Structure 1
């Protein structure tokens, strides 16, 4: 569990419960296909997570809050996938770029050879996804490839960060990155390959868990820097 000072412990508990309740209500909307619930609680996911983060740290990171901001817009835009899928994709692309910048800040040195060595794992996975969905991508082929390269880089940086320092918070960050990649992969497969399948619950559960683990890692790193 993330440690916080006694003064803020009650606030942290309240806002962690709030994030949990918002998540449950959003997942209920997805499972029961209640559009009203989704429209209300999906945008509140990142709002409640940001609130949880803000009461947990003394010095909030503008960079991390920016990632949550673009995630919020990604969530909002993807409520209308037929109209705003590409814009939603762009919002989450920016989110991942910010997460990469955050992780790079934790790494003192990183050679290109090391990055390529571990990046190949994610590129092979990404290549397999593209192989299955390429026939249905059409004009989205290039945007999806760009997005895939970025999330592969996100996973690579998170892995290297953990291998260089196997602290618990780095493990949380790595787990969050992997689950986020799994969530994005499920979206791609659902939209462009298993078109008739309903993978909404898997997508949202993995997304929520990923964002929580990343938030937990950022909070822990912030508190450790204050010691």
Structure 2
């Protein structure tokens, strides 16, 4: 038996323990955000995304897709840390998540061409347009162009995930499509809370949909060996 064969025969732990740990850490982060306990939030928020990254690392799939999803998760971690300071870190977080969505877009084109299902892009274009229309009056002038670019990237990522799911309905793509939709919901809630109408339970809605989205995107990678 060669060293390569022996290494491949070593069983790898499943992703679910890491994702279960991420759920617990995420619950602590949400509680910390609701209670205004910044030290706990500063630990639990990035830890949750790190645990999702660990779960994704255990999984396989097409090398291009796996590398791009892992890159998107790491960039999201950068955004998580930046947004611990909502004012000072907002633009850094926006750029980090913009790059994360572009990485996911690359992942979702690994086996399905871009905009393979035009109706999916048309539907998300309507969603993006409505979102910008509602937010526009409250977005500061200096942030308007970055916000537009971000919303276009976000909607394109979610639309391409849907294209992948429609093209390969029997695979893990449905997980990515639901994750993309939840990411849109999370960011829309965050934007409304920041630019339009702040509300007390915003951290619950934002973080619950955000980590659900990230976990589902990670689970779009099949277990190793499949």
The runs of 5 or more residues in structure 2 that have no matched partner are: 1-8
Tell me if the contact between 2:19 and 2:215 (Cα under 8 Å) persists in the aligned partners: no
Pick from 213, 218, 223 the counterpart of residue 216 of structure 2. 213
Partner of 1:72: 77
Q: 2:51 aligns with which of 31, 48, 54?
A: 48
User: Which of 77, 97, 101 lines up with 2:102 in the alignment?
Assistant: 97
Corresponding residue for residue 87 of structure 1: 92
Q: Is the 8 A contact 2:78 2:96 kept in 1?
A: yes
Q: CA deviation at 1:134?
A: 0.7
Residue 149 of structure 1: which of 149, 152, 155 is its match? 152
- Check the 8 A contact 1:176/1:213 in 2, yes or no: yes
5+ long unaligned stretches in structure 1: none
For the aligned residue pairs, the C-alpha RMSD in angstroms reads 2.3
In the alignment, what sits opposite 2:132? 130
- C-alpha displacement at 1:52, in angstroms? 1.8
TM-score (normalizing by structure 2): 0.86
Deviation at 1:67, TM superposition (A): 1.0
SS at match of 1:82: coil
- List aligned pairs for 1:143-222, cutoff 5 A: 143-195=146-198, 197-218=200-221, 220=222
**1:51/1:171 CA distance change after superposition, 3 Å:** same
Q: CA deviation at 1:161?
A: 0.8
More helix by share: 1
**Equivalent-residue separation in structure 1 for 2:204 and 2:144 (angstroms):** 25
Q: Which of the numbers 27, 32, 35 marks the counterpart of 1:32?
A: 35
Query: 1: distance between equivalents of 2:199 and 2:42?
Result: 22
Using the TM superposition, give the Cα deviation of residue 151 of structure 1 relative to its aligned residue in structure 2, in angstroms.
0.9
Q: TM-score, normalised by structure 1?
A: 0.86
Aligned length: 215
Deviates more, 1:65-74 or 1:15-24: 15-24
> Residues 209, 58 of structure 1: CA spacing in aligned structure 2 closer, same or farther, 3 A cutoff?
closer
**1:13 shift after superposition:** 4.7
